[in-house]
């Protein structure tokens, strides 16, 4: 029997699918609609100091035929009256007492924090999320990512909030920082109950070639936005892993955010230690209905792997994410092309020849275009298998017998590492490369 | 089996001759362009007689550099717009697309090409530069694809160019001979207009070169003469009754149809003789013009037909019936066609034999002969020292120069009748050949 319910640092929800604090959580109407659709929780669009928004707020990065693979926005926190938001929080909780309604907050002074915490608690919020991430507009006024980038300030504010709050506190971090563990540790030391990440990344999503202004364009000008959507997922997962593996930070629950759209994304975030996930861009693109695919996929995965709760596999990938120096240098894979599947686009050839290790040859027989691997040149980099447009046509095949293992770390300990520029123990020594003049034999 | 109602108005004609390759809209072009894999040494380029850098122009379409895409296309093929729709892409670029090996539909290269060039032509974007005048003059005989391409290329090299055209419209068979569901007259003519506006070559219409005197004038007035003439009238078959009312040549039939559209009257029953692409076109067109019964008759088996499979399929889908292994032996009727007498044929020891003991008559009101066109041998005979081969094709060297050095030639005159794209290639290369010769 699969049970998707969670207890996220004291916040209970019927499932780990939450809406991130953003335009989809701007009103009680949207959140009720989302809960009806199957979402288990929602972080209300940030309540706080009064703001005014501009018209033209979003920009998109399209790739090939995919719209919004990257997305940025210059929208600020909610511009609706606080009283309206509080009334609607109360109303949503009346209809959905078991769903998680979390109030995202952003104010300045200690007194303001204390007041707004009291307000949302009175409205019936299940938790608070501190918006220390917004990288546009609000940070110019000393809030949002301005806090997230100053661990000491962050710790102080988390301390104020914890002192005032009776409900659980989530600290939402900004990725616009060198080491995510710095603000992560500050949040934990400030007493946060849990952490969510990432907020958006400072970005310029594109420049209009006629007006010379960045998107989104507001009367001929633009500002940096916050970048999100599928493109940021790898950055988010890396930061999540950094926190999850940290001995102190890893003890608090982590809510994963950043480019999540499908059940696969959800599972990957959970495997890296998240026990709730938050989604925004995918909902802004496709609506609340996408949660159906997420839930069905997650259930299917859990059924096949025989898991009953997400805690059964949360963090399961963490032991396998290690430092480079611990990777086995004796492991060896080479590419193999399946000639029955090959369609002869020769992208593997040109990508290897121009972009990798000149380990693929074109056929001498010109009646077909099926290339072949020059095994002695192949370093097993994967590039050909990544560019190949045919499923399972190029596979990376293991060549070592798995009996040997030696890491850089071990070699260092054994004093067996290259030390001079011409050291025989260096990796590339003796590896085939064509002569520079060979390049001139190619036409064009 | 009549699938089409007889068109009585231009609107009904357009409906029956709906464009097989309609113009793409921006969204369709964007998505289609995004599918291109950008193959290395792409097979589509190798399959294109003019070697257009197809992956490049597709990428340019995708990045909204439509003008750049058109430049890429026209740089290789001066009739890039027409070729986008009239080329037999299934056996050329699209047939070579690697997606075919994956049972995925190939990229619609022709339509993408037409999309880009159409936009550029409609916007009248200036993308060509006339070459620095070099004081030399070229006369071109025939404003067909070969002649137009030669003129364009020669203008970019700085030559003055006059084209002598026998008819009143340019672009030869593209406007007079291609099936109307492949391209409209407007589409053909606007491309030539566009090229002519930018490159400024002259076309002298209704100015056929037929006599020694006319050739002498050209030889005196120009440094080089390019022969870009097409094929001639439909060949006489020598059948009994071939002169009866209602027996027409396919080329003449199609030309009339292209010019007069719904005003052409097609009788109820039509027999088309031949197995080439022109026969398929003529049969398909007769059916679309509302003939109640159209029968395609070919002397050999279906497999041996010269027509592309897709052209045959197109005719069949228009409601055309076909007869194989039959050869016409006489046209019956009293002054007017009433039928075609056929004899069955069979392969005997690798040779096609006519069995005169097995004959029958197919009743009809019209016979369209699509059995080949005569060459323009009378013109070639007027030119001193011009070598032609045993199929009346002008012989040329690698530079498209004939045995009479001031004459160059290309297109149908040298290949005996091929695609628009082949003529476009020849014309361009001949201009380069001329330039090489004159600047040697």
Tens digits of pLDDT across chain A (444 residues): 899 999 999 999 999 999 999 999 999 999 999 999 999 999 999 999 999 999 999 999 999 889 999 999 999 999 999 999 999 999 999 999 999 999 999 999 999 999 999 999 999 999 999 999 888 888 888 889 999 999 999 999 999 999 999 999 999 999 999 999 999 999 999 999 999 999 999 999 999 999 999 999 999 999 999 999 999 999 999 999 999 999 999 999 999 999 999 999 999 999 999 999 999 999 999 999 999 999 999 999 999 999 999 999 999 999 999 999 999 999 999 999 999 999 999 999 999 999 999 999 999 887 889 999 999 999 999 999 999 999 999 999 999 999 999 999 999 999 999 999 888 888 877 788 899 999 998 754
Any CB–CB contact under 8 A between A345 and chain B?
A: yes
Nearest to B145 by CA among B47, B204, B77, B218: B77
A65/B31 CB distance under 8 A: yes
What span, in angstroms and rounded, lies between the C-alpha atoms of A296 and B313?
46
Selecting from B31, B34, B101 the residue whose C-beta is nearest the C-beta of A343 gives B101
Mutate to test the interface with B, among A369, A386, A388, A390 (most CBs of B within 10 A): A369
Give the strand order in the sheet containing B321-323. Answer: B247-249, B366-369, B269-273, B293-297, B321-323
Backbone φ/ψ region at A292: left (φ over 0), alpha (ψ -120 to 50), beta: alpha
B40/A345 CB distance under 8 A: yes
Exposed e or buried b per residue across A245-267, where buried means at least 16 C-beta atoms within 10 angstroms of its C-beta? bbeebbebbbbbbbbbbebebbb
Chain A partners within 8 Å of B37 (Cβ): 345, 347, 389
Per DSSP, the three-state class of B414 is: helix
Closest chain A residue to B61, measured at CA: A64
**Per the omega criterion (within 30 degrees of 0), is the bond before B7 cis?**
no
To the nearest whole angstrom, how far is the Cα of A346 from the nearest Cα of chain B? 5
Per DSSP, the three-state class of B361 is: strand
What span, in angstroms and rounded, lies between the C-alpha atoms of B383 and A346?
50
The residue whose two tokens read 């037929």 is: B210
Nearest to A283 by CA among A24, A41, A46, A27: A24
pLDDT at B2: 52
Mutate to test the interface with A, among B31, B32, B41 (most CBs of A within 10 A): B41
pLDDT at A366: 79
CB within 8 Å of chain B, chain A residues 275-294: none
Closest chain A residue to B106, measured at CA: A343
Chain B partners within 8 Å of A64 (Cβ): 34, 62
As a whole number of Å, the CA-based R_g of chain A is: 26
Chain A partners within 8 Å of B26 (Cβ): none
Tokens of B182: 């492949």
To the nearest whole angstrom, how far is the Cα of B98 from the nearest Cα of chain A? 5
Q: What is the DSSP letter of A69?
A: E
What span, in angstroms and rounded, lies between the C-alpha atoms of A16 and A312?
14
What span, in angstroms and rounded, lies between the C-alpha atoms of A42 and A30?
10
With a pLDDT cut of 90, the percent of chain B lying above it is: 97
B37/A64 CB distance under 8 A: no
What span, in angstroms and rounded, lies between the C-alpha atoms of A321 and A309?
23
Per DSSP, the three-state class of A186 is: helix
Backbone φ/ψ region at A434: left (φ over 0), alpha (ψ -120 to 50), beta: beta
CA–centroid distance for B302 within its chain:
23
Q: What is the pLDDT of residues B61-116, one digit of tens each?
A: 999 999 999 999 999 999 999 999 999 999 999 999 999 999 999 999 999 999 99
pLDDT surpassing 70 at residue B256: yes
**Main-chain phi, psi angles of B198, to 5 degrees:** -85, -35
pLDDT at A444: 46
What span, in angstroms and rounded, lies between the C-alpha atoms of A88 and A90?
5
What span, in angstroms and rounded, lies between the C-alpha atoms of B298 and B319?
17
**What ipTM score was computed for the predicted complex, to two decimals?**
0.90
B39/A349 CB distance under 8 A: no
Helix axes B54-62, B66-76, angle to 10 degrees: 160
Residues of A annotated catalytic, as ranges:
134
What span, in angstroms and rounded, lies between the C-alpha atoms of A198 and A242?
12
Selecting from A342, A343, A346 the residue whose C-beta is nearest the C-beta of B40 gives A346
What span, in angstroms and rounded, lies between the C-alpha atoms of B144 and B126?
23
Tokens of B398: 């690698």
What span, in angstroms and rounded, lies between the C-alpha atoms of A329 and A382?
16
Q: What is the pLDDT of residues B207-247, one digit of tens each?
A: 999 999 999 999 999 999 999 999 989 999 999 999 999 99
B101/A389 CB distance under 8 A: no
What span, in angstroms and rounded, lies between the C-alpha atoms of B189 and B419?
18
Q: What is the pLDDT of residues B376-426, one digit of tens each?
A: 889 999 999 999 999 999 999 999 999 999 999 999 999 999 999 999 999
To the nearest whole angstrom, how far is the Cα of B308 from the nearest Cα of chain A? 23
State the Cα angle at B246 between B241 and B250, rounded to 5°: 100
Closest chain A residue to B59, measured at CA: A64
pLDDT at B157: 98
For range B27-50, the mean pLDDT: 97
Any CB–CB contact under 8 A between A65 and chain B?
A: yes
For range B425-429, the mean pLDDT: 98
Closest chain B residue to A389, measured at CA: B37
A344/B43 CB distance under 8 A: yes
pLDDT at A429: 76
DSSP string, A78-132: --S-HHHHHHHHHHHHHH-TTSEEEEEEE-SSHHHHHHHHHHHHHHT-SEEEEE-
What span, in angstroms and rounded, lies between the C-alpha atoms of B162 and B223?
12
Chain A partners within 8 Å of B62 (Cβ): 64
Closest chain A residue to B36, measured at CA: A64
In whole angstroms, how far apart are CA A54 and each of A77, A211, B400? 12, 18, 66
A346/B41 CB distance under 8 A: yes
B247-249 and B224-227 beta bridge pairing: unpaired
Dihedral, CA of residue A177, residue A182, residue A188 and residue A189, to nearest 10 = -130
The answer to whether the Cα torsion of A325, A329, A331, A332 is positive or negative is positive
Among chain B, residues having any CB pair with chain A shorter than 8 Å are 30-31, 34-35, 37-41, 43, 62, 98-99, 101-102
Any CB–CB contact under 8 A between A347 and chain B?
A: yes
Q: What is the DSSP letter of B168?
A: S
Chain A partners within 8 Å of B35 (Cβ): 65
State the Cα angle at B37 between B31 and B43, rounded to 5°: 120
A344/B101 CB distance under 8 A: yes
The answer to whether B150 and B201 have CB atoms below 8 angstroms apart is: no
Chain A partners within 8 Å of B68 (Cβ): none
B201's CB contacts (< 8 A; 6+ apart) are B151, B152, B154, B155, B161, B162, B163
Closest chain B residue to A351, measured at CA: B40
B40/A350 CB distance under 8 A: yes
What does pLDDT average to over chain B?
96
- The helix or strand, by DSSP H or E, that contains position B362, with its residue range, turns out to be strand B351-363
Chain B partners within 8 Å of A344 (Cβ): 39, 43, 98, 101
DSSP string, A140-185: GGT-THHHHT-HHHHHHHHHHHHHH-SS-EEEEPPS-SS-THHHHH
Q: What is the pLDDT of residues B268-314, one digit of tens each?
A: 999 999 999 999 999 999 999 999 999 999 999 999 999 999 999 99
What span, in angstroms and rounded, lies between the C-alpha atoms of A130 and A167?
13
DSSP string, A246-282: STTGGGS-EEEESS--SHHHHHHHHHTTEEEEEE-HH
Tokens of B97: 């697309």
DSSP string, B298-348: -SS-GGG-SS-HHHHHHHHHTT-EEE-SEEEEEEEESSBEEEEEEEEEEEE
To the nearest whole angstrom, how far is the Cα of B114 from the nearest Cα of chain A? 20
Exposed e or buried b per residue across A388-418, where buried means at least 16 C-beta atoms within 10 angstroms of its C-beta? bbbeebbebeeeeeeeeeebbbeeeeeeeee
Mutate to test the interface with A, among B47, B53, B102 (most CBs of A within 10 A): B102
Chain A partners within 8 Å of B101 (Cβ): 342-344
What span, in angstroms and rounded, lies between the C-alpha atoms of A216 and A73?
8
**Main-chain phi, psi angles of B14, to 5 degrees:** -60, -35
pLDDT at B1: 46
**Main-chain phi, psi angles of A286, to 5 degrees:** -120, -10
In whole angstroms, how far apart are CA A34 and each of A7, A229, A292? 20, 19, 11
The answer to whether B131 and B119 have CB atoms below 8 angstroms apart is: no
List, as own/partner pairs, every contact residues A431-439 make where C-beta atoms lie below 8 angstroms and the sequence separation is at least 24, other chains included: A431/A357, A431/A377, A431/A379, A432/A358, A432/A376, A432/A377, A433/A357, A433/A358, A434/A358
To the nearest whole angstrom, how far is the Cα of B226 from the nearest Cα of chain A? 31
Chain B partners within 8 Å of A369 (Cβ): 43, 98
State the Cα angle at B205 between B200 and B208, rounded to 5°: 125
The answer to whether the Cα torsion of B84, B89, B95, B99 is positive or negative is positive
Mutate to test the interface with B, among A343, A360, A442 (most CBs of B within 10 A): A343
């Amino acid at each position: 029997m699969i049970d998707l319910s969670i207890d996220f640092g004291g916040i209970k929800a019927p499932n780990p699918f939450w809406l991130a604090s953003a335009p989809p959580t701007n009103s009680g109407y949207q959140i009720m609609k989302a809960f009806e659709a199957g979402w288990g929780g929602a972080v209300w669009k940030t309540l706080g100091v009064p703001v005014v928004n501009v018209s033209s707020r979003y920009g998109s990065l399209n790739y090939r035929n995919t719209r919004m693979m990257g997305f940025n926005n210059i929208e600020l926190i909610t511009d609706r009256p606080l009283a309206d938001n509080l009334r609607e929080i109360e109303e949503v909780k009346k209809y959905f007492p078991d769903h998680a309604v979390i109030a995202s907050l952003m104010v300045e002074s200690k007194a303001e924090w204390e007041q707004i915490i009291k307000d949302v608690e009175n409205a019936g919020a299940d938790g608070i999320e501190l918006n220390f991430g917004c990288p546009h507009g609000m940070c110019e006024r000393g809030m949002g990512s301005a806090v997230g980038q100053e661990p000491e300030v962050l710790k102080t504010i988390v301390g104020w909030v914890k002192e005032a709050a009776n409900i659980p506190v989530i600290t939402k971090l900004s990725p616009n920082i060198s080491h995510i563990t710095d603000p992560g540790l500050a949040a934990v030391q400030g007493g946060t109950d849990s952490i969510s990440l990432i907020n958006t990344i400072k970005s310029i999503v594109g420049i209009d070639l006629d007006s010379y202004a960045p998107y989104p364009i507001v009367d001929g000008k633009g500002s940096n936005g916050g970048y999100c959507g599928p493109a940021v997922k790898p950055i988010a997962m890396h930061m999540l892993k950094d926190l999850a593996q940290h001995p102190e930070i890893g003890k608090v629950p982590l809510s994963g955010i950043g480019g999540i759209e499908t059940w696969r994304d959800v599972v990957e975030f959970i495997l890296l230690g998240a026990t709730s996930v938050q989604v925004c861009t995918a909902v802004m693109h496709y609506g609340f209905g996408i949660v159906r695919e997420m839930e069905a996929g997650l259930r299917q995965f859990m059924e096949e792997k025989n898991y009953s709760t997400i805690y059964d596999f949360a963090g399961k990938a963490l032991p396998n994410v290690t430092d480079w120096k611990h990777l086995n240098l004796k492991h060896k894979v080479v590419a193999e092309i399946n000639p029955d599947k090959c369609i002869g686009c020769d992208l593997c050839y040109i990508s290897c020849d121009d972009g990798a290790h000149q380990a693929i040859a074109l056929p001498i027989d010109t009646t077909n275009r099926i290339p072949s691997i020059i095994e002695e040149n192949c370093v097993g980099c994967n590039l050909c298998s990544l560019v190949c447009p045919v499923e399972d046509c190029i596979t990376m095949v293991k060549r070592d017998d798995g009996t040997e293992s030696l890491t850089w770390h071990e070699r260092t300990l054994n004093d067996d590492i290259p030390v001079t520029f011409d050291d025989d123990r260096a990796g590339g020594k003796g590896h085939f490369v064509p002569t520079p003049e060979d390049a001139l034999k190619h036409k064009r | 089996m009549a699938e089409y109602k007889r068109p009585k108005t231009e609107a009904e004609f357009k409906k029956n001759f709906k464009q097989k390759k309609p113009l793409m809209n921006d969204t369709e072009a964007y998505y289609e362009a995004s599918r291109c894999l950008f193959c290395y040494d792409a097979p589509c380029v190798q399959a294109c007689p003019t070697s257009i850098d197809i992956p490049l122009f597709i990428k340019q379409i995708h990045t909204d550099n439509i003008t750049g895409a058109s430049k890429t296309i026209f740089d290789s093929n001066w009739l890039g717009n027409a070729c986008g729709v009239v080329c037999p892409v299934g056996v050329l670029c699209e047939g070579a697309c690697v997606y075919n090996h994956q049972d995925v539909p190939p990229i619609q290269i022709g339509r993408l090409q037409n999309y880009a060039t159409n936009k550029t032509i409609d916007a009248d974007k200036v993308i060509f530069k006339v070459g620095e005048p070099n004081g030399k003059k070229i006369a071109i005989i025939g404003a067909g694809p070969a002649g137009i391409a030669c003129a364009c290329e020669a203008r970019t090299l700085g030559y003055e160019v006059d084209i002598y055209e026998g008819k009143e419209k340019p672009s030869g068979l593209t406007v007079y001979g291609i099936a109307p569901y492949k391209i409209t007259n407007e589409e053909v003519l606007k491309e030539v207009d566009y090229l002519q506006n930018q490159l400024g070559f002259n076309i002298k219409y209704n100015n056929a070169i037929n006599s020694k005197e006319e050739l002498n004038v050209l030889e005196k007035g120009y440094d080089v003469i390019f022969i870009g003439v097409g094929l001639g009238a439909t060949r006489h078959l020598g059948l009994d009754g071939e002169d009866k009312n209602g027996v027409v040549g396919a080329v003449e039939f199609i030309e009339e149809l292209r010019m007069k559209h719904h005003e052409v009257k097609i009788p109820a029953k039509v027999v088309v003789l031949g197995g080439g692409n022109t026969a398929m076109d003529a049969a398909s067109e007769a059916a679309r013009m509302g003939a109640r019964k159209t029968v395609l008759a070919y002397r050999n088996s279906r497999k041996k037909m010269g027509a592309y499979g897709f052209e045959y399929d197109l005719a069949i889908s228009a409601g055309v019936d076909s007869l194989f292994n039959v050869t016409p032996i006489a046209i019956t009727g009293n002054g007017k066609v009433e039928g075609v007498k056929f004899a069955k044929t069979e392969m005997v020891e690798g040779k096609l034999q006519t069995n005169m003991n097995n004959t029958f008559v197919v009743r009809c009101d019209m016979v369209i002969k699509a059995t080949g066109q005569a060459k323009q041998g009378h013109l070639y005979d007027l030119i001193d020292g011009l070598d032609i081969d045993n199929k009346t094709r002008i012989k040329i060297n690698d530079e498209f120069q004939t045995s009479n050095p001031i004459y160059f030639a290309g297109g149908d005159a040298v290949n005996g009748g091929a695609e628009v794209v082949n003529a476009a290639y020849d014309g361009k290369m001949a201009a380069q050949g001329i330039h090489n010769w004159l600047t040697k």
